[in-house]
Each structure stands twice: as C-alpha cells, then as structure tokens.
Amino acid sequence: MKRLKSTAMRVKIFFLFLFAFFSLSYASEKWKPPRDFVKAKVLRVVDGDTIVISIKKTTFNNRKTLKNLKFTVRLIGIDTPESKPNRRAKLQSRETDKDVKTIVRLGKRAKLFTESLLSKGKRKYSYVFLEFDIQPQDRYGRLLAYVWLPDGRMLNKEIICGGYAYPLTIPPNVKYEKEFLRCFRYARENKLGLWR
C-alpha cells in the first residue's frame, strides 16, 4: 500500500513537472517584430493618441549613425479627445456637440488608458516597436506610426477597440483602416471605454 502511494506521488510530481516545463516554455516565447520595425523607448504619453519616444541608435544609408533621437509619435488611424483645453479641443467640441470641459475630461481618460497599455503590471514597458506606413511624418514633424507592444499587440488597435478613440484615416496611411472601423463599431455598440 505504501509502495502504491509512493508511485502515485512520483507520477503526480512527474506530470506537475511536465506541466510547469511546458507552461514556462510557452510563456517565454515572445512575439518577434518584422525586421523593418523600429525599436524605441517610450518616454511619456502626451495624449491618448500621441507619445514621445527615443530611438537609441539608427543608421542612414549604411554610413551615418545617429544616437539618442527623440521624436513625438502620432498614432496612425485613431483620434482621441484632447486632454488639455486647446484649439484642437475647441474643434472637437464643435464636431461632437460636447463642451470643451467634457472633451478634456474624456481626453484625460483616454490618456490614462494609453498609459495603462504601455505598462505591464506596475512597471512600464521598456520599449515598443514602430511600424511606418506610406507617409512617415506629418506636417508638424511628428512621426506617424503603428506602435506595437513587446507582446505583439498593436497600441493603436487596442485603444480604438477599447473604446477610447475615433477612427481617423488620412491617406495614404490606410493599412489598418478596415480593422480600426470594425473595432470602433464594436466598442460603440458594446458601450466600451468612452461610450459607457
């Protein structure tokens, strides 16, 4: 009887070990971004749809290397309410029939949501990946990008799917336009994020 219990215990330990081994091996698999994505460190969140990043090092024309570049990145395909009273907040107020105070309150919620996506638990992600479309910069000098988190989720898509942004498609950057529209409709219909 003792021998039977001992064997049963060994079998349980063996299967527990196997389960732990496979769980850890799958958990340690990381999403690998395509080679043309640019690795960047997030410095801060300006608005729900705008972040500031730094790029440690990049080489142009296989000759000139630039280091510690700092850029403002406007997330392609989405538009969140402004988190500060400014000219754009007034424009959004006229477009939505909401007063500027309401726009700013919603903008602060969108900003907090974006900040939460850029964190893993209590610590912030140390880096993200930038994917560019046809036009890499806007007239204000900001980079235009789809921002990918280290776990393979796209920040732009997570924000609009979570109900914190409107779709904003400005050609020629239209790569994920249909996906963003589907997310927007789903978020509105299910009263997610700002639509609660």
DSSP string over the chain: -HHHHHHHHHHHHHHHHHHHHHHHHHHT------TTSEEEEEEEEEETTEEEEEEEEEEETTTEEEEEEEEEEEETEEEPPPSS-SHHHHHHHHHHT--HHHHHHHHHHHHHHHHHHTEETTEE-S-EEEE--S--B-TTS-EEEEEE-TTS-BHHHHHHHTT--EEE-BTTB-TTHHHHHHHHHHHHHTT-GGG-
**Cα–Cα distance measured from residue 143 to residue 118, given in angstroms and rounded to the nearest whole number:** 18
Q: Is 74 a catalytic residue?
A: yes
One-letter amino acid at 189 equals E
For residue 115, indicate whether it is catalytic.
no
- Given 88, 142, 182, 188, the catalytic residue: 142
Give the count of beta carbons closer than 10 Å to the beta carbon of residue 71.
19
82 counts as catalytic: yes
Q: Which residues are catalytic?
A: 74, 82, 142
